[in-house]
Structure 1
Amino acid sequence: MGNNTHETELDELKDIGLQIIANCGGLPLAIKVMGGVLSVRHVQRPDWMRVLNDFIPSCELPEVINHSVYLSYEDLAPCLKQCFLHYSLLPTNAVFYENDIVGMWISEGFIHGNSHDYWRDSEDLGSEYYRELILRNLIEPDARDEALVAHNGDMYGYLSSRKFYQLSLESKELESDMLVWSLVQEQTSLRTLVSIGQIKLKPGDSLMAFPSPRTLHIESTNAAVLVESLCQLKHLRYLSVAHTDVSSLPENINTMKFLQHINLQGCESFEKLPDSIIKLEQLRYLNLNDTGINVIPRGFCILTNLSKLYGFPAYMDGNWCSLEELWPLSRLKEIELKGLDNVAAGLFAESASLYQMRLSYLKLECSTRVGGGGLVIEGRSVFQDEENQRIEAVFDELHPPQRLSTLVIQGYFGLQLPVWMRTEDRLECLVVLTMEDLACCTQLPCCLSQLPYLEVLKIQRAPAISCVGPEFLGVSEHHDQTAIMFPRLHELVFSGMVKWEEWVWEKQLNAMPALEELLVDNCKLRSFPPGLAFRARALRRLVVTAAQNLNSLDSFASVVELDVYFSPTLTSIANLHQLQKLTIIFCPKLEKLIGVPAIRRLVLEDYDMETLPRYLQDVGNLSLLQLDCSLELLTSIAMGQPGPEWKKYSHVKHVEAYAHDGDNQREWYVLYTKDPYKFETNINQRSSKLAGN
């Protein structure tokens, strides 16, 4: 209800709230949906009373749920009702991101931007609608990365017997389950077609049967044969052929004058855009990521309605650079630039004038010099000074606007990060920062700790950094001892810093009070700094992977969940008094697990263990032990009370132990429950139960 709601106001609403809960019959879905209805109402008694009076309880479980959903639906504005019903079209097991969904809503005419407010356009309104549907609990994007789960059903019977305006179809890889295109062509009234998965096409199949579709989304199939007839769809607004074999668009695509949204992501054989694409005056969204497109048509700058542009290639042709085409695109809010190592000088980067745009998201990408193992690719371990200086000059001129909230830098190989990253007022609105494949940077910038809104920081694959020193926390001669460093940071990732050995952070330095999740992966860090355990009191999840020289994890007072993987020198985990869930995978020298009184779940995986670790006996309140081990050790565990491992696990409330077959599938098992006693294994004879002594 927000921080401004007074406690007295809440007390006045409690009796009504309890009545609404009672009418929900204890059903979680009904309660969630009604909570969504109330969350968008005024915090006033008359408004809540109207909700209570409209909510007539029912005795039948489905009816209670349906009525609560219906009430929430009826409470929607007319435009939101259309968006909600359209959302239900999207198929099972497919990922639809917010951009896709909002783009479809716009193409259907459900959203109309405000012509009087230049920056509050259709995409902004669509995002507001999307968030309100989530707030009302009518959609749950987290269930599948912003995807709605809808059933496929017996679509072939329906397609042959009925006519539809909107179709959403999902087919499997098996040939017998493929979508037969001839059945789709019979749907001559279609306005929306969403097809995920393989399509069975034959010569002559086309899009010509559909006179007036607004939305066409075809994904993960061979659809190149359909491109020839694409320009027949004169009313099409939304086009997505992501992850298909499509390698070109029609040369006369300019005849599709209403086209607003083009998604070519993952079309790997696509190399060239048609020159006439620059005549699509209504185009708002263009995604070229993961395609072979390395050049763009001259005159791209006249697409002034573009709002989101991904995978734009930086390209030189004599003294002309494609970045020059960007500065007139003043409506851009999100942009991803790739191939920046192709830019000859900083002067060409300056012509993009990114700082004058109202960008909220920016990605700057060079061809990576870092391999999968985190090391600089062989043959490129030493760069010429002039190459380092050139890329530094290019990035220095690509400084973003101050309102930027998300920044991604990938493949940068300058010796030091851009000058605007070393000046705190240039990124004062930044919320998310990701830096990947920093081949040559030896030090992280000092101003990051001063950013007031930074919540997420990820450093991935920076092979030249050996120490994260005081400068990372903004310590200098003029440092304000009362200042809080990284005041809002809640997620921090250090991954692939293969030479990183030391992290300096003393207890007296107040930093990261809001940090909730920390991931450290693939490094040579010897120990965690004392300041981290002492100051990061909100830290709840800690993940440590492939820490080659780490000996102990100690005194993280607030950590609730700890994952430790592939750390060969780790010997001790101690004094984690709030720890509830612990996962240990291939840490062969771990001997001590002490000071963990709250632990309830332990996951242990190691196929080289000859015996269960002794520290299991020291964990007294363990509710679940999940073990993946060798068949030899599992056989010993399966002996039960007479066996040598019994004392180590008999106190655990429930044990699940497994050994894998040659295909790494769990084939053999031991299942043990302490109370009431139950012991089951298939070691000697599958599904046989062994009587206890």
Structure 2
Amino acid sequence: MDASNSWCSLQELEPLSQLRDLTLYGLEKVQDSRMAEKAMISSKCHLGCLELNYSANRHTIGTGGAEAEQQQQQSVTEEVLEKLCPPTCIQNLTLRGGYVGRRLPDWMCAQASVDFKSLRYLTLENLPCCTQLPDGLCCLPSLELMTIKDAPAIKRIGPQFQASSSVAARGSDASTSAPFRKLRRLYLDGLPEWEEWEWNDCEEHMDVETAIAMPCLERLQIKNCKLSCLPPGLASTKRHTLRELWLYELTNLTHVENIPSVVKLDVFDCPELKRISGLSRLQKMRITCCPKLEVLESVPALDSLRLEDATMDTLPEYLRAVHPRYLEMGCNKKLYESSSSPGSSEWKKISLIRKRSIN
């Protein structure tokens, strides 16, 4: 899509009622929401996949333009996206490229979002001005995979994101009204100012009839943020499906504890991480560039440990307390030599681990 004469305009989409897959480019050029409304996207009852693309470099936001002009551009951008509401039959929705609105559209908010009963895949990418996520995403009844990437203005994710079942239910019982009830994979990547995730699913914050949020979550990946701790909601004893946890570049994270179902843990470049414990089913773990990690305990099922850090001068003491079947280690030449020499103090830390690969 492009508003210029070289590409088609939005209103030319109106008669295309049989569309199955639609990608729109150049949406930052649309300066009148009535043009978006004429596309009649919401009426295309066969549409399964919709991708909405913006080009961030076309905007004046954050480039020194007058404040009033910037606010006007943001308002227009928000109004246009509001009118590009997909049909309720949509299965795959992507928003990317540099949407500069301060908020996401009302059709992503409760209670409107519950009508999107077929939406399985959602990607929100490059949201430079959004300060909060809409509260309706948790109501999407079929959502399986969600990716939120490059949202630098978000500092906090509150309880509305994984709202109580009373918000999502609309009269349903707890077993079918859990927030994000079918979500299997969640990727949160590039939220560099994100410091707080308020989410309590622990028993002391729940009554017996309340369903936990994300009951089917299998894989959680968090990358590039300032979270100092993971939300208590992950530690609920009712959570049985979360098997993979990937934590990359969490600059303030200090501990990972008491997430009973995790089988695979990958932590990368978490400079303040000091403690990993209480992961009773953990089998496979990789630790990369976490120089302050001092405690690794209560991981009785640990089978494979991969440790990588070229800056290490000595092996961590926690290696004496864990007994994986296999240890793979990447280190500098000096540590390689000392840990490979039988009888040395470094070798003794790993001597009880039968299978070792040190590079």
TM-score, structure 2 normalization: 0.89
Kindly indicate whether residue 74 of structure 2 is the aligned counterpart of residue 388 of structure 1.
yes
Paired with 1:555 and 1:381, the residues of 2 have a C-alpha distance of 50
SS for the counterpart of 2:307 is: strand
SS for the counterpart of 2:235 is: helix
Ranges in structure 2 where 5+ consecutive residues have no aligned partner = none
Paired with 1:547 and 1:380, the residues of 2 have a C-alpha distance of 33
Amino acid aligned to 1:656: S
Query: Is the 1:434–1:457 contact (alpha carbons within 8 Å) kept by the matching residues of 2?
Result: yes
**In the TM superposition, what whole-angstrom CA distance separates every residue of 1:1-46 from its partner, at most 9, and x where no partner exists?**
xxxxxxxxxxxxxxxxxxxxxxxxxxxxxxxxxxxxxxxxxxxxxx
Which among 331, 346, 349 is matched to residue 33 of structure 2? 346
| Residue in 1 that maps onto 2:343 | 642
What is the CA-CA distance between 1:537 and the residue it aligns to? Answer: 2.4
**In the TM superposition, what whole-angstrom CA distance separates every residue of 1:297-353 from its partner, at most 9, and x where no partner exists?**
xxxxxxxxxxxxxxxx322359x9611221222221011111100111111111211
| Residue in 1 that maps onto 2:131 | 442
Which among 157, 166, 173 is matched to residue 468 of structure 1? 157
SS for the counterpart of 1:449 is: helix
Kindly indicate whether residue 120 of structure 2 is the aligned counterpart of residue 431 of structure 1.
yes
Amino acid aligned to 1:315: A
Amino acid aligned to 1:434: T
Alignment of 1:465-544 (within 5 A): 465-475=154-164, 482=174, 483-506=177-200, 507=202, 508=206, 510-534=212-236, 535-544=238-247
Paired with 1:550 and 1:369, the residues of 2 have a C-alpha distance of 33
Query: Is the 2:139–2:168 contact (alpha carbons within 8 Å) kept by the matching residues of 1?
Result: no
Query: Is the 1:436–1:461 contact (alpha carbons within 8 Å) kept by the matching residues of 2?
Result: yes
**In the TM superposition, what whole-angstrom CA distance separates every residue of 1:373-422 from its partner, at most 9, and x where no partner exists?**
xxx97658977110110001110111111100100011211111012112
Alignment of 1:284-295 (within 5 A): none
| Residue in 2 that maps onto 1:360 | 48
Compared CA separation, residues 391 and 332, structure 1 to 2 (3 A): same
Paired with 1:551 and 1:582, the residues of 2 have a C-alpha distance of 17
Which among 326, 344, 347 is matched to residue 13 of structure 2? 326
SS for the counterpart of 1:349 is: helix
SS for the counterpart of 1:473 is: coil
Alignment of 1:76-155 (within 5 A): none
Kindly indicate whether residue 3 of structure 2 is the aligned counterpart of residue 315 of structure 1.
yes
Query: Is the 2:11–2:35 contact (alpha carbons within 8 Å) kept by the matching residues of 1?
Result: yes
Paired with 2:247 and 2:168, the residues of 1 have a C-alpha distance of 31
Paired with 2:19 and 2:167, the residues of 1 have a C-alpha distance of 39
Alpha-carbon RMSD = 2.3
What is the CA-CA distance between 1:566 and the residue it aligns to? Answer: 0.4
Paired with 2:256 and 2:333, the residues of 1 have a C-alpha distance of 30
Paired with 1:390 and 1:458, the residues of 2 have a C-alpha distance of 25
SS for the counterpart of 1:645 is: helix
- Identical-residue share of aligned pairs (%): 39
Amino acid aligned to 1:431: R
| Residue in 1 that maps onto 2:90 | 404
Compared CA separation, residues 551 and 369, structure 1 to 2 (3 A): farther
Amino acid aligned to 2:275: S
Ranges in structure 1 where 5+ consecutive residues have no aligned partner = 1-312, 371-375, 659-693
**In the TM superposition, what whole-angstrom CA distance separates every residue of 1:27-78 from its partner, at most 9, and x where no partner exists?**
xxxxxxxxxxxxxxxxxxxxxxxxxxxxxxxxxxxxxxxxxxxxxxxxxxxx
Query: Is the 2:340–2:347 contact (alpha carbons within 8 Å) kept by the matching residues of 1?
Result: no
Query: Is the 1:369–1:413 contact (alpha carbons within 8 Å) kept by the matching residues of 2?
Result: no
Compared CA separation, residues 440 and 516, structure 1 to 2 (3 A): same
Compared CA separation, residues 477 and 385, structure 1 to 2 (3 A): farther
Query: Is the 1:369–1:377 contact (alpha carbons within 8 Å) kept by the matching residues of 2?
Result: no
Amino acid aligned to 1:326: L
Compared CA separation, residues 574 and 392, structure 1 to 2 (3 A): same
Query: Is the 1:401–1:426 contact (alpha carbons within 8 Å) kept by the matching residues of 2?
Result: no
**In the TM superposition, what whole-angstrom CA distance separates every residue of 1:539-579 from its partner, at most 9, and x where no partner exists?**
00000000011100001101000000000000000010100
Paired with 1:557 and 1:380, the residues of 2 have a C-alpha distance of 51
What is the CA-CA distance between 1:354 and the residue it aligns to? Answer: 1.0
What is the CA-CA distance between 1:454 and the residue it aligns to? Answer: 0.6
SS for the counterpart of 2:122 is: strand
Compared CA separation, residues 434 and 623, structure 1 to 2 (3 A): same
**In the TM superposition, what whole-angstrom CA distance separates every residue of 1:514-550 from its partner, at most 9, and x where no partner exists?**
0000000000011111112215321000000000111
Compared CA separation, residues 377 and 628, structure 1 to 2 (3 A): farther
Query: Is the 2:165–2:179 contact (alpha carbons within 8 Å) kept by the matching residues of 1?
Result: no
What is the CA-CA distance between 1:446 and the residue it aligns to? Answer: 0.8
Paired with 1:638 and 1:486, the residues of 2 have a C-alpha distance of 49
Query: Is the 1:316–1:343 contact (alpha carbons within 8 Å) kept by the matching residues of 2?
Result: no
| Residue in 2 that maps onto 1:606 | 309
Compared CA separation, residues 397 and 315, structure 1 to 2 (3 A): same
More helix by share: 1
Compared CA separation, residues 380 and 466, structure 1 to 2 (3 A): farther
Structure with more contact order per residue of length (Cα contacts < 8 Å, sep ≥ 6): 2
Paired with 2:162 and 2:23, the residues of 1 have a C-alpha distance of 29
